[in-house]
Amino acid sequence: MAKIQIISLLCLFCCCWACKNTNSTENHENLSENPSDSIAAVKAISTSKQYLYAWVDKLRLRAEPDTKAKIVAEVKEGAQLTYLNEKTAFTEKITLRKVRHDEPWLKVVTESGEEGWVYGGGVRVYQAKIDQAPSPYDDCYQLSDNYKMSQCVERLSTKQLEKVTDFVQVTATGYRIKLLDGTQKVLTERVDSLARENFLDYDYRYYIPKMGYYVFAFYAFESFGFTLVNDKSGQTLNLPGYPKPAPDFKHLVCHSPLPEMGFYSLAIWGFTDDGMTELFKKEMQDYIPYAPKWLDEKTVQLSFKPTQADQKLKVVELRADETGTWSIVAD
């Protein structure tokens, strides 16, 4: 009997030892089998994130996928967001930057760790080039409807004028500008319905203090453009298109969304030894230059909108080379 018990105990001990060795071998093999594959798998998991980029400025990150939900954060244009692979089963129609979208909501997390929902129409899968020097009327001059464009400009010009009331006053005959030395510059309008060639009307636009210019739009008989008034000397300079300063305030890109004598104009002006000088000019009939973005001090990205239905929109870059010569380098 004792012998049988001893044999039974030995069998039980061997079984336990075999089981222990089997588990140990499996664990060992799992840890050592092609370790490079395990590392690659971990890297794949960590780098499989899908990034989205805010397409509009102050894009709202909300606690729930609803325009009335709590705002968690406001995201800057171009900011990177990590998509959490979750979206709504429904879509919603929302207008952003004058474009009507019908997109779902996406769950994302910001680079600073804030988690929430953004509207799908407000993001892109690529990082858009950001305007380094936005100006007050950019959104207005992107409108294709001339009536809506003029309404937008009129609203903004009123607000811009309120910022400089100590220096620019509206008079019965135009504008009176107080220069930095205390003297005054007067812009006089001429409104004569019987002699159209004497017609001249000014509208204030905005002030560029780092360049020392007040910007006015002018409308004359069969012509229009923009007038720069030097805030020190009072000297004026007429430009054919809306002036948008570079990030370093050494150049202006001027584009006209409306034709003059059948042409749409595009120009670069900059400071030289001779003062503010035209450095580049292009006149077009088939395309309308609009939506200029300063990508840096020497590069402007523009869209060329076709005037004919059978033509396609073109995105170009206007760039200065090492010699300071400006040219269109990308179509």
pLDDT given for residue 192 in this prediction: 66
Q: pLDDT truncated to tens, each residue of the chain (331 aa)?
A: 443 444 444 444 444 444 444 333 333 333 333 333 333 333 333 345 799 999 888 999 999 999 999 999 999 888 899 999 999 999 999 988 767 889 999 999 999 999 999 999 999 887 778 889 999 999 888 777 888 889 999 999 999 999 999 999 999 999 999 999 999 999 998 876 666 667 889 999 999 999 999 999 999 877 889 999 999 999 999 998 999 999 999 999 999 877 777 789 999 999 999 999 999 999 999 999 988 999 999 999 998 988 888 888 888 999 999 999 999 986 5
Specify the amino acid at residue 255: H
Q: For residue 226, what are its two tokens?
A: 């923009």
Pairing mode of beta strands 236-239, 223-230: antiparallel
Q: What angle do CA 9, 12, 14 make, to 5 degrees?
A: 110
pLDDT in tens, 179-238: 999 999 999 988 766 666 678 899 999 999 999 999 999 998 778 899 999 999 999 999
Closest CA to 290 of 261, 327, 319, 315: 315
H or E stretch covering 36: helix 35-47
**Structural domains in the chain plus CATH codes:** 50-124 (2.30.30.40), 140-330 (no CATH)
Q: What is the Cα 94 distance to its own chain's centre?
A: 19
Sheet holding 168-171, edge to edge: 168-171, 174-178, 184-188
Mean residue pLDDT of the chain comes to 83
